[in-house]
Structure 1
Amino acid sequence: MRVLKLACLISFLLPTVVLGESATSRKITEALPGEASVGRLVVNGNAMCTGALVSPELVLTAAHCLYDPKNGRRVNPSQIEFQAGLRRGKAVAVRGVAETMQHPKYEHRRKGKAQVGHDLALLRLDRPIDANAVLPMAKDIRLGTGDMLGVLSYNIGNRNDPVLEYPCRVLATQHQTVVMSCEVDFGASGAPVLALSNGKNPSLVSVVSARAAMGGKAVSIGTTLTAKALQDMMRGG
C-alpha cells in the first residue's frame, strides 16, 4: 500500500468537498456474499496485497503489487501466492501464480510517485478455483459523487481475516481515477471496491491503489474498471 501526497490531484478533482458519514471498518464475523472471491496476496515472501477472483483462474489486483518495494523490480510470478477466502489464518484455496499481466499504460514509479488511473493487474493462477467463487464485475459502471461503496481487504492489522469497510462514498472521479472516503491501510492495495445493495450482492467496480490525506482526513484512491481495461491487460501482458 502506497501512502501518497496527492494534494494537487485531489484539489483538482475536488474543488469543493464536504465529508459526510464516516466509514466503519470491521472484521467479517458472518459470511458475506463474495467473501471467498477475495484473498490475500503474499508477494516475494513478505509484501502483502489483496486480490479478487474475476474468473476461476484470474485474480485482479493493483499493478504496483507486482513490483518489489525495495528495489522496484518486477517480481517473478512464481514468487506470488494467492490465499483465497482467508479467514482465521485458513484459506479456502491456495494457488501459485503462473503469469502476471499489468495494464499496458501502467508505468511503475518508486518512492511514492504514483501513477493513478492505470494501476491494474491480472494474475493467472497455476490452477483454477471453483467458478462459484468468482466475484461479478459491474460492467462499465459510471461512478458518480456520492455513490455508496464498500472495500473488502486484508491489511497489516488484520492479516488473517478480511475487513469490510462499509459504507463509504465516492468523493470525485476523473477519467479512470476515483477518490473515495474509504479508509484503507497497508496491505489493502489491489482490494476490490464493491458496489453493494444493503451490504449484500457485491459487484466489483474499482481496485484500491493507494491511501492519501485530504484536509486532515484519510481518503483512498482507486482505478475504476471497464471491460476494455481487462481486455487490454490480457493482450498487453
Structure 2
Amino acid sequence: MLRFLTILALALLAGQAHADSQLKRFKTVDDSRGWEAVGRLDFAGESFCTGALITPSLVLTAAHCLFDIKTQQRHDPSVMTFRAGFRNGHAQAYRNVRRAIVHPEFSINAANKKGRLTRDIALIELDRPVRDGTVIPFDIASSAQNGQQVGVVSYARYRSQAASLQETCSVLAKQGGVLVTSCDVDFGSSGAPIFSMTQGRPKIVSVVSAKAQFQGRKVSVGTELEGQLDRLMALAQSDKRFFKKVEADIPADSLDGLTDTTYVVGTLD
C-alpha cells in the first residue's frame, strides 16, 4: 500500500484537472440561492463553525466544533444556535439546539491527530425542523475520489457575516478516512460541507476538519462520511444524549506528510 506522503506528492506534482476557483462571497439573495441550507453554528456569541442541514432537523458539522477551544469541555446545547443561510445579520431560519451528537470514537484530547481527523463529525439536532421551502437539506454522496472536482461553502474569519463559495477545488489525496483537498478554508470553516459538484444538485461528500500544510502549500483536510455518518444517524434516531468514547484504530502511517495541522474553529468579531 502506498504511503500517504507518496500519494499526496504525486497528486501535487501531477497538477489539478481543474484550476481552483476563487472564493465568491454571497453578497445578495441571488448569490446564495440554492445554498441556504448551509449556515453558521454559533456558540454563546463567542465562536462559530459552519454546518449544513441534511434533514429538516439535523445539521452536519465537525465534532471538534462542539468543544470549547480553551477548556476542551463540551458546549452545552443551550448555548448553540444554527442560522441557516445567514447573511449580513439575517438568516432564512434561526433555530436553537435540542442536542448534539458527537461521533462516539472522537476525542478532543487524543494525542494522535489521525484519530481526531478520521472521526471528526457530529450531528446537531435542532429544537424545531426547518420547513422553509427555500431551505432544502442536502443529500449525502458516496466518498469523492482522487482528482475529483469538489466545492465548499463556508464561513470564516474576516468573512463571518456571509458564507463564501469556492465552486472548484480538487481532491489531492484520499487515505486513512480523510480527504486532502485544495479547497480554501480558514478559522471558522470547521464543519463546512465539501460537495461533489459533478452531477445535478451538489451533494455532501465530506466536512472540513482542519487546515494543514504540505511542503509549504496550504491544504485542507476533510473527514470522510462513508460508514461514519450512518453510525451518527442511528444515534440520532435514539433518545441517548451521551455515548461511551471508544478509541479508534487508525493506521499509523495514514497521514504521513501533513504538518502544522490546526483545528479551524473561528472566533466571532
TM-score relative to the length of structure 2: 0.77
More off after superposition, 13-22 vs 174-183: 13-22
> Which amino acid in structure 1 is aligned with residue 231 of structure 2?
D
Deviation per residue, 1:58-84 (Å, 9 max, x gap): 000000000000000011111111011
> Which structure 2 residues correspond to residues 41-120 of structure 1 after superposition, within 5 A?
41-109=41-109, 113=113, 115-120=116-121
Q: Does structure 2 conserve the Cα–Cα contact (< 8 Å) formed by 1:34 and 1:202? A: no
Q: What is the rounded CA distance, in whole Å, between the counterparts of 2:162 and 2:182 in structure 1?
A: 22
Label 1:184 to 1:205 Cα distance change in 2 as closer, same or farther (>3 A): same
Q: Please give the secondary structure, in 1, of the residue aligned with 2:194.
A: strand
Q: Look up the SS of the partner of 2:36 in the other structure.
A: helix
Structure 2 counterpart of 1:181: 182
Q: 1:172 to 1:162 in 2, by over 3 A?
A: same
Q: Tell me which residue corresponds to 2:230.
A: 231
- What CA distance in whole angstroms lies between the structure 2 residues aligned with 1:184 and 1:207? 11
Say if 2:205 and 2:224, in contact at 8 Å, map to a contact too.
yes
Please tell me whether the aligned partners of residues 101 and 234 of structure 1 are also in contact (alpha carbons under 8 angstroms).
no
The residue number in structure 1 matching 2:145 is 144
| Equivalence for 2:23 | 25
Q: 2: CA distance between counterparts of 1:10 and 1:183? A: 21
Name the CA shift for 1:181/1:189 in 2 (closer, same or farther; >3 Å).
Answer: same
Separation of aligned partners in 2, 1:48 and 1:89: 14
CA distance in 2, matches of 1:172, 1:130: 37
Letter in structure 2 aligned against 1:11 = L
Counterpart Cα distance in 1 of 2:117 and 2:164: 24
Deviation at 1:96, TM superposition (A): 0.6
Distance 2:42 2:171 in 1: 29
Match of 1:222 in 2: 222
Max Rg structure:
2
Match of 1:3 in 2: none
Kept after mapping to 2: 8 A contact 1:39/1:50: yes
Which residue is equivalent to 1:5? Answer: none
SS in 1 for 2:5: helix
Q: Distance in 2 between matches of 1:142 and 1:220?
A: 16
Task: Tell me the C-alpha RMSD between the 2 structures.
Answer: 2.3
Deviation at 1:105, TM superposition (A): 1.4
Alpha carbons of 1:146 and 1:33: their partners in 2 closer, same or farther (altered >3 Å)? Answer: farther
State the distance in 1 between where 2:121 and 2:220 align. Answer: 15
Give, in whole Å, the separation in 2 of the partners of 1:138 and 1:33.
19
Displacement of 1:142: 3.4
Provide the residue aligned with 2:5 in structure 1: 11
Aligned-partner Cα distance in 1 for 2:62–2:165: 18
AA partner of residue 26 (structure 1)? K
State the identity %: 37
Q: Which amino acid aligns with 2:56?
A: P
Matched with 2:259 is: none
Relative to the length of structure 1, the TM-score reads 0.87
Distance 1:32 1:194 in 2: 15
Unaligned runs of 5+ in 1: 1-8
1:185-204 deviation per Cα after TM superposition (whole angstroms, max 9, x unaligned):
11000000011149x72111
Q: 1:126 Cα deviation (Å)?
A: 0.6
Partner secondary structure for residue 219 of structure 1: strand
Aligned residues: 226
State the AA in 2 paired with 1:22: D
1:167-206 equivalence runs, <5 A: 167-197=168-198, 201-206=201-206
Distance, in Å, in 2 between the alignment partners of 1:68 and 1:110 is 15
Shift of 1:137: 2.2
SS of the residue corresponding to residue 54 of structure 2 reads strand
Q: Answer whether contact 1:181 1:218 (CA < 8 A) is retained.
A: yes
User: Which has more strand, going by share of residues?
Assistant: 1
| Contact 2:56–2:137, Cα closer than 8 Å, also in 1 | no
